[in-house]
Amino acid sequence: FNSNRVNLRYTPRQMCLLSARITESSRKIVLAIVESDTNDYGMEDKKAMGFDGTGKSKSGSKKKESKGDDEAMDMDMEDSDEEEKKDGADDEEDDEDDDDNTRQTPIRGPIPSEKGRWGSCVRLVDPADACSTLDCVEMNRNEAALCCASVRFHSRGGESLLAVGTVTGMTMHPLGHRESHVVLYRVVNGERLQLLHRTKVDNDGDKDIGPVLSLVHFQGRLLVGIGRTVRLYEMGKRQLLKKCELRGLPAMVKTLQAAGDRAYVGDMMHSIQFLRYDSTGNRLVLVAKDRNPRPVTCTELLDINTVAVGDKFGNVSILRLPRGADVGAIDVTGTRALWDSSREDATPKLETLCTYHVGEVVTSMTRASLVAGGAESLIYVTVTGRVGAFVPFTSREDVEFYTSLEGYLRAEAPRPTGRDPQAYRSYYAPMKHVVDGDLCDAYGQLPYDARQKIAERLDRSVGEVMKKLEDTKNALL
């Protein structure tokens, strides 16, 4: 893989791609990153305190003083003494360069004494130019940017704008905040960010209104997850205009996905809810929900009825809306369905197609192809930096081959910890419709006799089994 390193001020929270218009016929793709850290001061407060994390200014002034002193001394020395002094000055400059390199290492600034202190910024990066930083906008004091999204309002002619969800004075224990905002930026000439307006999220003392944790573009508007409420906004001249909302969700909204007239909401405790936007009544209707609780960390839409979910316990699940459930869904928000809404089966339940325990917290997922012209796979990353993929099988032959190989390797493969691989992959829920690729990869590490024994059971040779494993890897990479 080709990787580029970008030095950031704070911890990155979320990123999104923007299509910036350079001229009428040309566009530029830029990457927006929101960063924030708790128990930290902002850049302006650090500069006011005289804190410099790199120490470049101090080292630069010392360099100038040392060079000036050396030049003054060299003018008074003889020719023979000048050479010795120059050699000594060169050695001192080398030592100062080494000290300067150590000073350039970022260090932690002063820790605030009170709670609710945040440092945050919004960074604009050019992926085509080695991920160089184009612009970096520091947020207000104690304001944290937690999420971002690219949105194209119909009233703005389809121009890509950057929407950022911020929280001011947020505390973790107990969980609370002073106010939340949705900030809109415009990318000017693909080089800098221009503030359009800030919209304050009014809570009015309602416990359902909380911090802004998720944003998504939805039919030329902006869909925002605010605490336990999903709200739809339209573009206005001075601020965003609220069009409709759905309150009373089970927990805080963590993720949002959109496709057509549907929205896919993932909360922190009760898994996924499918919503549908009714344009005639200008309202959001609950279509279906998951029957099993899952603390969602990330989601990825596979098709209009299927979604992949990662939770904080290290599980990846594939959920699907049953056929015909969207038509038979009962709108529990209306008064006419009051009698039907009291039934247990009032809201359709999602079906669980696949379940797999990765073993680490999955922080992000995306559907992509790593090879030009190759089939799409579900790529995921974990909290420790591991990158993995779920490759879909396209034929029944592949399913039978890998299922049989996995079954034989459960008995033949060595167990360093003495634990059954299937029991580990079914740590929280039984593994379903997923083949353990790590276990199948252990075939090449077995002794030749064991490989020959397994190959005979599969009615293949050892070379054919190894070639099958390599072809699957090459199809992904």
Helix (H, G, I), strand (E, B) or coil at 424: helix
At position 164, the amino acid (one-letter code) is: V
Task: For 120, list phi and psi in degrees, rounded to 5.
Answer: -155, 155
Q: 136-186 pLDDT, tens per residue?
A: 999 998 999 999 999 999 888 878 999 999 999 888 888 888 889 999 999
DSSP per-residue letters across 302-351:
EETTEEEEEETTSEEEEEEPPTTHHHH---TTSSTTTTGGGSTTSS-B-E
Q: Which residue in 200, 195, 203, 118 sits closest to 165, CA to CA?
A: 200
Q: 221-279 pLDDT, tens per residue?
A: 999 999 899 999 999 989 999 999 998 888 999 999 999 899 999 999 989 999 999 88
Chain Cα centroid distance, residue 84: 58
- Please give the pLDDT value at position 206: 64
Tokens 């797999």, located at residue: 356
Query: Strand order in 362-368's β-sheet?
Result: 362-368, 377-382, 387-390
CA distance 223 to 234: 9
Where does residue 248 fall: left (phi above 0), alpha (psi -120 to 50 degrees), or beta otherwise?
left
CA distance 276 to 291: 19
Residues of the chain with pLDDT under 70: 1, 52-108, 203-208, 327-346
- Please give the pLDDT value at position 341: 47
- Please give the pLDDT value at position 87: 52
